[in-house]
Structure 1
Amino acid sequence: MVFEHEIPEGTKLYFGKSARIKRELESAACEIFYRHNFEEVVTPYFSYLEHQQNFSDRHLIRLSSQNNHQISLRYDSTIDTIRTITKRLGRATSHKKWFYIQPVFSYPTNEIYQIGAESIHDGNLQSMIGIGLEILSRCGVKAILQFSNIKILELTLAEIGIDKDTYRSLSLRQIAQKARFVQDLLRINSLHDLDSFLPDAPMFVRFELERLSHKAHACGYEHILISPLELPLVDYYDDVVFRIFSENDTLVLGGKYNIQECLCCGFGIYVDNVIGHILAHNLAKE
């Protein structure tokens, strides 16, 4: 029996104060994106299943079209946006900087509201980080900016002879026992730690560590965390990755990636987490 007041688990209901915060966050994002020469795109809620091949079927909400094609509810906005801009709209527009405000969906009934931005044929991650921080700052949100570099992780795993799946299954203590330099990498938490380690870093990974240091220094942000061996939360990120978080909640996730043979960079703001963060801090002040 389903009671009239119930909504499916994983769906969202915003009203009053929370709905106002959501609208103010989205409005601030729109104003900032337009000022930075971004244009808006809204992609379809539905996508052909073959276009979602980067993701496990267990995450996708699958349906069939009237022509019996396998389709799914949009699970990720980045891949759909890049594919739509480059393949469908390539002749209609030459614009390279796009943003979107739209939800994604995962099995069984999860709704995730997102604000995202993609810069096509562009590796200027620094600019994207600044925009993400500016949007959060407009809403009075202060958080920690974390940097990692997937290439450091890949080079390290190749050196010690394990793959990512094995790495996921090991404890930090087991990983640290693999090699002395792995212990040193795991101890790095701050920019000072990273810069102190650089002169003694193994040559095979030093260049990528230097790139990570350069990106983090260029931000000029006060609260920075360095995590050289962090696993990516999104599989298609393949270079420098940044995460803005507070307590245990990810507020913004972004990085560099290559999709549809396009070098791009971008980020997604987890709207639901930002709303929860603002509500909790407002409550604490009352």
Structure 2
Amino acid sequence: MIFSHDIPDGAKLYFGKKAKIKREIEHIASEVFENEEYEEIVSPYFSYHQLEALNEKELIRFTDKENRTLALRGDSSIDIIRIVLKRLKSEAKKWFYIQPVFRAPSTEINQIGAEYLEGDLVEVLNTNLNIFKRLNKHYPLIISHIQIPQIVCELTDLSLDDIKHMRVYKFKEKWLKELVKIDNKDINLKLFPKEIAKHLKEMIELAKKTNYDIILAPLYVANLKYYTGIFYRFINNNEIIAKGGEYKVEGIKSSGFSIYTDNLLKDIDG
């Protein structure tokens, strides 16, 4: 039985103190973005292109009046870059958003995010850090590379599922066992195949450019389909507070991040 006061599982309700803190978080983030010369954008709730970002089972899908498949926005990055490039044709390169995304069957995820066309990931990461500094928050930062697990599969008999679930009993190669142990930037690159060493070097260089304690996780398998290089996660109690990375849209290499407002709010308000 559905009562008149029920809300769907996964939907969000804010009131009183929690609503106030949420608004304050978003205001602080907006100030940081504006100080760093980001333009604000609010993209449509409906999209034709979400399959480029997420798997079909994650999307809330239906059809338009011409029977074309569309979905509730499940990810903001792809649509925002496309809109800026194809519809707005703006010269601005730096954009931020404060809006929810939706996942099947009825989950609402509030996000604060930024996209930097042709932008450097170090600068994007520093913007993310500046927001956390304003909020007096310090979270573990984990850096990975989308290409490394794929290359491991090519060089071994492992599947991505083996790597994702860390079935270490299948890890036979000496260099692969060493790869599992990596957690900081003090790495002997000569231990690894050149295809992997190249990407490890990129991760190390990013870590050295960032004035922050960083954990390296080269074998982490990401769910987002559009990352092309390095990506990162801020974690708190096994929940993602923010994540970002490098990607390409319409052939343009860009960088961006999203803060998971609800997880951040939970940490701040308890």
TM-score by length of 2: 0.94
Partner residue in 2 for 1:98: 95
* Number of residues of Structure 1 aligned to a counterpart in Structure 2: 269
Paired AA for residue 229 in structure 2: D
**In the alignment, which residue of structure 2 is the partner of 1:15?**
15
Query: Where in structure 1 do 4 or more consecutive aligned residues deviate above 6 Å?
Result: none
2:156 to 137, 157, 160: 160
Q: 2:116 aligns with which of 104, 110, 119?
A: 119
Partner Cα distance (1:160, 1:12) in 2 = 44
Q: Cα offset for 1:142?
A: 1.5
**Unpaired segments of 5 or more residues in structure 1?**
281-286
> C-alpha deviations, 1:116-145, integer Å up to 9, x for none?
1001122x1011111111111211222101
**Whole-Å Cα distance in 1 between the matches of residues 61 and 138 of structure 2?**
38
Counterpart for residue 134 of structure 1: 130
| Long gaps (5+) in structure 2 | none
Q: Aligned-pair distance for 1:172?
A: 3.2
> Match for residue 30 of structure 1?
30
Output the aligned Cα RMSD: 1.6
Provide, for residues 41-97 of structure 1, a one-character-per-residue CA deviation record: whole Å limited to 9, x for no partner. 11101112xx1222322222122323333221111100110111111122xx11111
**Do the aligned partners of 2:141 and 2:232 also contact (CA within 8 Å) in 1?**
yes
Q: State how 1:193-272 maps to structure 2 within 5 Å.
A: 195-222=186-213, 224-272=214-262
| AA aligned opposite 2:169 | Q
Deviation at residue 166 of structure 1 after TM alignment: 5.0
Shift of 1:162: 3.7
CA distance, structure 2, for counterparts of residue 174 and residue 35 of structure 1: 50
- Which shows bigger deviation, 110-119 or 150-159? 150-159
Residue 182 of structure 1 is matched in structure 2 by: 176
CA distance in 1, matches of 2:105, 2:155: 39
Shift of 1:198: 2.5
* Residues 266/183 of structure 1: CA separation in 2 closer, same or farther (3 Å cut): same
Tell me how far 1:232 sits from its aligned partner: 1.4
Query: CA 1:43–1:196 in 2, change beyond 3 Å: closer, same or farther?
Result: closer
For 1:174, the aligned partner's letter is Y
| Aligned sequence identity (%) | 37
* Alpha-carbon distance in structure 1 between the residues aligned to 2:257 and 2:83: 17
